[in-house]
Structures are given as structure tokens and as C-alpha cells.
Structure 1
Amino acid sequence: MHSLSNTSVLDTIQKMEYYCSYQERCHAEVVQKLYSLSVPQNRHDEIIVHLIHHNFLNEERFAKLFSISKFHQKKWGKNRISNELKQRNLSDYLVKVGLNEIPEEEYETTFHELAEKTWDSITEKNTLKKRKKCCDTLLRKGWESDWVYEKIKDLEKKV
């Protein structure tokens, strides 16, 4: 017969398996969820090891999926993706692995399309203000500053 604590651990493991199965998670998100479920800290490692062992939790898979998803869905640049992964306590190695999922040619094409679309969408008549708004938008999305400034120069010439 299970003691109450074993039953609650099994329930928690089941909840965490579900939590990790409907969306890819990193360790930090799992720990945060365990705290929100009021799971005692001394049980965290046991639960995390179970999730890793049963392939519910895999940070390399998370890094790859996170990187390609944010690039495709939100048009984020590598700087933003890298910073977001580091905020989730992923190692530099895993950040690199995630960023390597993004095809270089597609990355460049997406940047140019996004920069042109952003430039065209800004109705500001003052060129300096328009340049600032466009640069700010692209930099906030995490695109490389040298690319941004070079592209804005090119777009200004076309006006």
C-alpha cells in the first residue's frame, strides 16, 4: 500500500509528464512548475530525473525546437533567441546547438524580407525618426546590429 507521500509524488509525476508532453520544456520551466504545485524541494531532483529518463524532458531538443520556432513564428534573430535560451539557464553549448538549427540562407532571406517589410510599414515622414523606428524594431527582435545598420542605409538609398 502506498503512503500518502508516494501517491502524491506519483500524481505529481503524472502531472509533470503531461506538462512536458503537450509542449517542449526546459529544466527551469519544470522547476518553476514544481514550485507552483508546492512540491517540496527535496522531491524536485527525483521528479526531474524521472522526466529525463522517460524522455519527457530533453534540453537539447528544447533548444532546437525553441530556436527554430521563434525564428519561424516570431521572426526573431539569433541574438534574441540566444538571450532567451540563456535566460532559461541553458548552457552555451545548447544555445549553439539550438542556433545551428536555423538554416543560414533562410536566416538571411528572412532578415532582408523582414527589414523591407518593417521599413515599408513605417509611415513616419522624418527620415531620421523612420530610421530609428526601423532599427529599434529589428534590434529588439534580435537581429545583428551590423546587418541592421547596413540594410537601413540601403533602404534609405531606394527612397
Structure 2
Amino acid sequence: MQPKKTYTVQEATSKLESYCAYQERSHQEVRQKLTNMFMIPEAIDTIIVHLLNHNFLNEERFAKTYVSGKFKIKAWGRNRLAFQLKQKGVGKVNIKMALEEITDEDYIRVFNDLAEKRVSSIKETNKLKKKKKFIDYFLYRGWESHLVYEKANELIK
């Protein structure tokens, strides 16, 4: 068994600066990374304060980037986005601010495009089963139930 690698505060700070510069990170991810590096709580707090002061770590920026990416690439709905941000320890104010970045027009357009694609890709012949598959797909991805049920009734007759 190899002995665990230890880091000085300067080494850990340098590593975490690179870690945060590479991609936006949540406070929770950074704290976990430092814990995995076997840093003591006082050092963790010192490093996090340094990262915040030097703008390597910014929860609002992280939330906006996360929402933008997951919405554009994975087409997640607002419910899933909010849930995932909560899981990452992001505050309610930042979650709300990040979700407001998605315009209603974009949101509905993406939903409609995705619904059209999805309904044509479901090969089920039984209408009820097809509707269930459609609804499950969108609810899992965090789209609002009233939108999903309306669209399912509209597209699957």
C-alpha cells in the first residue's frame, strides 16, 4: 500500500486554481476535492477563500454555465436543472437566477422540437404504451408535467 500524498497549502492552492480554471466548479466539488487531498478543515477554508477572492470560484457563474450547458446539450427541463443544482449545493437565489437565463421562447421551442423527434422515434403501436413512454421520457428529463401531458395528448391520438 502506497503512503498517501500530502500537499502544502501552496501546492494545494495551485492545484485547485488549475482545477477551477479548467472548468467551472461548485463550492461542493472544490471542498470534496480538497477533502480527497487529505487537507485539514482550516486549510480547506483558507484555500476556498483564496479561490473566491481571485475569482476562480463563483457559484453564480457556475450555476449559469451549468444550466446553459445542460439545457443546450442534454435538453433538460427546469425541474431537472434545479434538482441537479441543489444536489451540487448551489443556493436557491443562484438557481433561480440561472434558470431565468433560459428564455420562455427558447424553452418552448426546444421542448416542441424534442417532442416531435421523440414521438417519431417511439416504435410502439399501442397508443397508451406510446403515450406512457413519451411522458416518462420528458418527466425524467425534468420538463413540467402540464407541458408534457398537453403535448402527449396533442401528438399521440
1:114 aligns with 2:114: yes
Q: Where does structure 2 lack aligned partners over 5 or more consecutive residues?
A: 1-6
Could you say which residue in structure 1 is the equivalent of 2:144? Answer: 144
Alignment RMSD: 0.9
Could you say which residue in structure 2 is the equivalent of 1:33? Answer: 33
Runs of 4+ displaced beyond 4 Å: none
Could you say which residue in structure 1 is the equivalent of 2:4? Answer: none
Query: Following superposition of structure 1 onto structure 2, how do residues 85-96 of structure 1 map, counting pairs within 5 Å?
Result: 85-96=85-96
1:69 aligns with 2:64: no
Could you say which residue in structure 1 is the equivalent of 2:133? Answer: 133
Could you say which residue in structure 2 is the equivalent of 1:102? Answer: 102
Q: Where does structure 1 lack aligned partners over 5 or more consecutive residues?
A: 1-6
Aligned partners of 2:65 and 2:156: how far apart in 1? 36
Q: State the Cα distance separating 1:53 from its structure 2 match.
A: 0.3
Provide the aligned length of Structure 1 versus Structure 2: 151
TM-superposition CA deviations, 1:60-102 (whole Å, max 9, x none): 0001111111000100000000000111111111100110111
Q: Which amino acid aligns with 1:111?
A: F
Q: State the Cα distance separating 1:119 from its structure 2 match.
A: 1.0
Q: Which amino acid aligns with 2:85?
A: L
Aligned partners of 2:16 and 2:125: how far apart in 1? 53
- Helix, strand or coil for the counterpart of 1:111? helix
Aligned partners of 1:104 and 1:37: how far apart in 2? 42
Aligned partners of 2:12 and 2:102: how far apart in 1? 35
- Helix, strand or coil for the counterpart of 2:8? helix
Q: State the Cα distance separating 1:42 from its structure 2 match.
A: 2.1
Give the TM-score, by structure 1 length.
0.92
- Structure 1 window deviating more from structure 2 (140-149 vs 34-43): it is 34-43
How high is the sequence identity, in percent, across the aligned residues? 49
Could you say which residue in structure 1 is the equivalent of 2:14? Answer: 14
Aligned partners of 1:32 and 1:120: how far apart in 2? 43
Aligned partners of 2:129 and 2:36: how far apart in 1? 44
Give the TM-score, by structure 2 length.
0.94
Aligned partners of 1:116 and 1:139: how far apart in 2? 16
